[in-house]
Structure formats: C-alpha cells, structure tokens
Structure 1
Amino acid sequence: MDDKKLVKELIAGNKKAFEEFYDKYYLCLYRSAYFLVGNKMDAEDILQDTFITAWNHIGELRSVNSLKTWLYRIMIRKAYRSGERKSKEVPDEYVQDKTDTTMLERGVSSDFTQDISQKNELQQALQMLDIKHREVIVLFYYEEMSISEIAKTLGCFEGTVKSRLSTARRKLRIILQSNDDTFNNLKMEVV
C-alpha cells in the first residue's frame, strides 16, 4: 500500500493499516533510535513511543509526502527525551550487517567494518559524539537521507546539517585515530 492510501486508512482507524505502517518503518526507526541512544532497551521504548504518537496524531500530518520525515522527527524528539544514556550494547547482527552494507555503499571506508572489534570501536566513537552530531551521522549514513531530508527532519537549514556532518566526521576521525594511537602505544610497550 502506498503512503497516501496508508495515511487515509490510518486516519480512519484501520488497525490492519497500522500493522502495515509499523512493518514498513519499524526497522529503520529502530536502527536510528539505537544509534542515537546506544542501547536496545531505550531504542525499543523510543520506537514504541514513536508509533503510539504517530497513531494518535496521524490526522495532524500536513502532507503525505512528508510521512517519513514526520516519523523521524517524532523519533528524534523521543530520543532527546529518553534521558540519561545507559550502558552501551553491541547491536544485534541484523542491524550491524545492514549498517556495514549501508556505510560501504555511502562511501565510508571498508576499514570501518573489517572485524567486530572495529565495529564496536565505531559504535563507541559514535556514542562519544553529542546528540546533534550523532543524529546527522545516523540519518546520513545509516538511514541514507539526503542533506535536504535531514534538514526537514531536524527542522533546520541545509547549511546547518552540512556543518554538523562535517564536524561530526572530523570528531569521529579524531576519536578513532586517538584509539588507534592508544592501541599502537600499548602494543609497543608490550613488545
């Protein structure tokens, strides 16, 4: 079912349409929530709250064309409100495999995804970024949104998104390089 028909059915209160709506968007929203908050339990709570809010407010959607953007905006607001970040977990294999494929397709070096320790290192580095920089990385690389889609989702200018993305990349590079330097120094001391 296309989004236009789906929204009409949701407004009418059709529960079958809600199941289809959920199936269509839950994985990408969950993945983004997970990378924003850093653990499965909080991501699941955010996902649930996002869909409840969407169900309750679907009639307020201004344009069917902006359904995806509207959902991400709700999810990001829920992530902001989720409070303190709890212990970090390694994402389940399906999310991690999708992440690897997506990052390679978007031009991120395969060095990031060669082995599980590097995957964990990237996840930890991502969690070291503040939420504004983390969200642009997640939306751009993991959700494959364009700069203009991210700007609409976050309610800011495209220039702001570009600036945050550039800063986030630079910070990630510094974090990852400092981790490599620390690891290399430890190896040198052991030898």
Structure 2
Amino acid sequence: MRVNFDDIEIIEKLRGGIVSAYREIFDRYYSGLCHFAHKYLGDKDDAEDVVQETFMVLWDKREEFQSLPTVKSFLYTVTKNKCINLLSVSSNRKRILEGDYLFSQQFFEENVVEEEMYRALYKSIEKLPEQSQKIVRLNLKGMKNQEIADQLGISLNTVKTLKKSAYKAIRSDMLIWFLAIVMNQVVS
C-alpha cells in the first residue's frame, strides 16, 4: 500500500528516518531525474546509477532538509554534479573544460523546468477519470480518435467528448503550474 503525505509531513517523516516518506520522494522524482541524467550522459544505465547514488546521498543527509523544494533542488543539483563527475573521468573531459553548453547553468535550468513540466503533466493526467486517462495516454502516443475508439471499444463521439474535457482540465492544471513557476521567479 502506497502512503501519500503532504509536503510538510513528508519532510518531517524523512528527517525522522521514516522509509515510507523517503519512498514517496523517490516515487515523485526518480523517473524525472533519470531522464534528466540521461540528457547529460546519453546512457540509460549510467543515468539510473547516478540517480540511485543521488538518492543514497539524500538518505544520508535527510536530517538537513526543511522543505520539499529544497529536497527537489538538492536532488537535481546532486544529479547534475554526479553526471559531470562521471563525464569528467571519461573521454568527454575535453568538452567540460571547453565549457560545452551541456554543462552550462542554462542547460541545467532548462532541463529542470522541462522535467518538472512533464511531471506536472502526468500528475494532471492521473487526476482524470480512468477512461479519460486512457484516451489522453493513447492520444499522446500519436493515436487518432478512431483508433482510440476502436482500441477501447467505445464510440468516436465518446472519445471526442472525453478528450475535449480531459484536455480542458489538463490546460487548467498546466496554467496553474506555469503561473506558480512565473510567480516564484518574480518573487525570487
């Protein structure tokens, strides 16, 4: 059984060494961090290794965190640094020393935002009714409305109606996410 904590509770429990809180953070960020690391390393296995090491560091430093945003920032920063360290001992060391865009702050920030956007999108999809989730996921895979209707055994009109309301809900969620990002940048 999966336990969901609110952001304050998850930090308190993490600091107290409660494994289920650690698992909640792992579940929230693992796949996005793997994708993020893959952009640096170009290798899925290396990316997963780096992210697993990052989560070990998180566990070791769990008592130091005061908020979930600091945990998230920590995870992305440690992952980036571990990727750069791994590349610095490889044949790509010259690229790092030459200041390649891959290792710039701009690349880092763009990719953190991209991963967070995907995470927000999929979180929004998970809030939809089950049938709407299926329709949106199939649509994101490139399927046409008629193909979706055929696969799910529902009418074309049902697909169109559910898809329209689903995307309306997703746009609303994504607008809220975007405004939160913008407001956070204005305040910072």
Structure showing greater radius of gyration is: 2
| TM-score, with length taken from structure 2 | 0.49
